Amino acid sequence: MRNLCLSLLLLLTGTCLSWGDPAPSLPYYKTIMEIMAPLRYSGVPVMVKPQVYLSLDFAKRTWTIHNIHEYDQKGNIILAQGRYGLCAELATYLFEKIKPFIDNKRYDLKFAMVTESDFFSSRQSNHIVLLLADKSNGEVYLIDPSFHRYGRLKDLPEYKVLNVQDTLSFVQDKSHDVFFSVNQAMPLYIKKDYLLSFAVTSVDGKFDKDNFIFVISANRRYKFSGHDIVLIGRRHKEFVDLEDKTLLNKILTQDEISTLFDRLKIWLQPA
C-alpha cells in the first residue's frame, strides 16, 4: 500500500524517482557523481613527475615545490594521470567540469576552505571543497571530490566552513608552484584510515644547509597528533635517514615506498 501511494504521488507531482537513488533531490546529482567517481586524493603521482622539484629558501625560511600545478592550453587544471591530485586541484577540476552546465541564474558555485572532522579539524585547515548555493531558496550543498561526498551542508555536520572564495589564488595566477613556511605540512595522501603529510622542518630552530629534515608523518582518522614515519635530511651536518618500517609497510606498498624515497633523495642532493 505504501509503495502504491508513493507511486500515485509521484505521478501526480510529475516527479521521477528510482528506487535506490540515494539523493534524488540534489541538483545535477548523477552528473556530478559521475565526474567525481574516478578522482583520487593523492599528491604522490604529482610529486614524482620528472619536472617537479623542491627548493629551500633558508633566508625566508620557506620551501617550494615547483611545477606541481599543470594547465592545458585553455588554462584548465590537469590532474596527474587524469585523476590524481590534492584537494585544491580536485576541487578546481570539478569546478571547471560542472560550471558550464549549471544554471547560473539559479545557482552560485564557489570554493570553500573547511574543517572536516575525519582528518582536517584544525582552524588552520586548508581542505578545499565546493559549495553550490541555490539562490531561489537559500539551500547550500557541499561537494567534496577528495572524499566523494555530496549533500546539503546542513546534513554534513562533520564540515565547518572557514571561508568562501570565488576562485583559488593559484588558479587565478596560473601558478605552477606551491610554497610553505618551514615546519608547515602539505597533505599528501589518504590511505587505510591514515592521512600522510609532507613537510620540511628545522632542527632545534635552525634552518640552513646543515639543518633541515624532510618529514613524512601519518595521522590516523580522528587522531590529530601525527606520527613521523620517514625522516631524511641533515642534522648539524650529519645525514639523517630514519623510518618507522612497521607503520610504513602497513600504509604503503613497497613500490610506493621506493618511489617516495627515491624522490626525497633526489631532492636532497642539491642542498
- Phi and psi at residue 85, in whole multiples of 5°? 180, 170
Neighbours of 94 (CB within 10 A): 22
Give the three-class secondary structure for 28: coil
- Give the pairing of strands 159-165 and 149-152: unpaired
CATH number of this structure's domain 23-57+69-172, picked from the four choices 3.30.110.30, 3.40.50.720, 3.10.620.30, 1.10.3720.10: 3.10.620.30
Where does CATH 3.10.620.30 sit in the chain?
Answer: 23-57+69-172
Which 8-state DSSP code applies to residue 154? Answer: G
Residue 89, burial from CB neighbour count under 10 angstroms (0-12, 13-18, 19+): buried
**Max Cα distance, the chain (Å):** 79
**For every one of its 271 residues, what pLDDT tens digit does the chain have, with 9 covering 90 and above?**
434 343 333 333 333 333 344 555 899 999 999 999 999 998 888 888 889 999 999 999 999 999 999 999 999 999 999 999 999 999 999 999 999 999 999 999 999 999 888 787 776 667 899 999 999 999 999 999 999 999 999 999 999 999 999 999 998 899 999 999 999 988 888 887 888 889 999 999 999 999 999 999 988 877 656 789 999 999 999 999 999 999 888 888 888 888 888 888 888 875 4
Distance CA 227, CA 220 (A): 9
Total count of residues recorded for the chain: 271
Angle at CA 164, nearest 5°, toward 162 and 168? 115
Q: Hey, what's the torsion of the CAs at 150, 152, 154, 158, to 10 degrees?
A: 0
User: Can you tell me which residue has the cell 635530511?
Assistant: 233
